[in-house]
Structure formats: C-alpha cells, structure tokens
Chains A and B, each alone.
Chain A
Amino acid sequence: AQSVTQLGSHVSVSEGALVLLRCNYSSSVPPYLFWYVQYPNQGLQLLLKYTTGATLVKGINGFEAEFKKSETSFHLTKPSAHMSDAAEYFCAVSDLRAGTALIFGKGTTLSVSS
C-alpha cells in the first residue's frame, strides 16, 4: 500500500532563511509525487510534481524538490523564505487504485517570521 509521511507538523523559519519540508513515501511501484500548498481558508494549489525523468523538480514561487529513490524521500526546499510563504504544505502520492486521486500526508504548517 502507498503512504506518505511528513516529518514535522510545524516548521518555523526567519525571512530569508532556507525552507526545508520533509516528505517520505512508501510505494511498491515507481511513485508519482506531488507537493501542494494551502493558504488560509483556500483550496489547494499545486507547487510541483515528479512523475519520471529529472529527479530535481522545480515548481512555482521558487520551490523545488528532489526525488531520492534510495531514501524514499521527496523533500521540498526554497533557498530564501518570504513572508508570503506562510501556509500549510502537503506532500502526496498518486493512489494507483483510484484514477488520479491522491494519498496525502498530514501536512506541515510553515511559519515565517520577520
């Protein structure tokens, strides 16, 4: 069965600092992995996705993630945090039994202080 684990339910950084949000997955087949962002009282927006090919994936708003098969990880990073990055971030893996539906991690709330 597929699953996603996000390490750390809450991450706090200072403006301008590195952002690192951790995600590990479990899958018996090559996974399709996604990061979504949710701003307060809004729906989810896709940040980036990994399907096949290049293991370093660039997304919107300066975020990127690296697929590491040997570590079963897909951590999200951004070199320099901005106040507008404060949101909840979800890592997800495709649920191969359910069309294009996703299995989500429990989420990580990112706080950015000035």
Chain B
Amino acid sequence: NAGVTQTPKFQVLKTGQSMTLQCAQDMNHEYMSWYRQDPGMGLRLIHYSVGAGITDQGEVPNGYNVSRSTTEDFPLRLLSAAPSQTSVYFCASSYSGLPASYNEQFFGPGTRLTVL
C-alpha cells in the first residue's frame, strides 16, 4: 500500500507558466482534497472531491483547477502561475463512511512549488 503519493516533490515555475500537480491514492478512498500550506497560515483548503466526477471549491480556489475522472487520481492544475502561489501543496484522502467527519484524512508527502 503506497497510500497517498504526490509528484513532483519540488517544482520551480516562471510567472505565467501552467502545470499539473499529481495526486494518487491506492486505498479506494472516495474523498480527496488539496490544501496549501504557507508559513504562519496553517493549511487551507483549495478544492475537494467527494467522488469521481464530483468536485467543489474550498477556501482558496482562485487560480487552480481540478477534475476527478477516477477514484484514484485527483490532479491540481495551476492555470497561469503567480508568485503568490509559491507554497507547499498537500493532497489528502479519506473514507466516505458516515458520518463523514469521523474519518481520518491521510496526507501525501507534499509538493514544494516556487513561482519566480
């Protein structure tokens, strides 16, 4: 069981470039989420998905796009990178048993992104 995997581990972009952060999980989890972590800010929710084909916005969705075509994968796309998107990005997944809030989130190791 690999758990939650993220690629790449590190990435440097120039302003205006686009890229996709990959996230995959092999635990058959229905729920997946993307967070960004900035110093002194904790983690903030970007987008989340409650199942294949269903996504919704979190607290800080601007500049990011997601899709969920399979249960396993939940890629995060940066449409036109900006320096304000320099951050560490974490993907997480969890079971969908009810009540949903009982369920532990499993986190990936993160992607450290720098936008110049």
Residues 1-45 of A, flagged 1 when their CB comes within 8 A of B and 0 if not, give 000000001000000000000000000000010101000001111
In the complex with contacts A90-B42, A105-B42, A100-B110 CB distance below 8 A: no
> Counting CB contacts under 8 A, is A87 at the interface?
no
Q: With both chains docked as a complex, state the minimum distance between the C-beta of A95 and any C-beta of chain B, in angstroms.
A: 7
B112: nearest chain-A partner, CB-CB: A41
B102 to chain A, nearest CB (A): 5
Q: List 15 A-B contacts (CB under 8 A).
A: A32-B102, A34-B104, A43-B110, A44-B107, A45-B107, A90-B42, A94-B100, A96-B101, A98-B48, A99-B33, A99-B96, A100-B103, A100-B105, A101-B33, A102-B43
Residue ranges of A at the interface with B (Cβ–Cβ < 8 Å): 9, 32, 34, 36, 42-46, 49, 51, 90, 94-96, 98-107
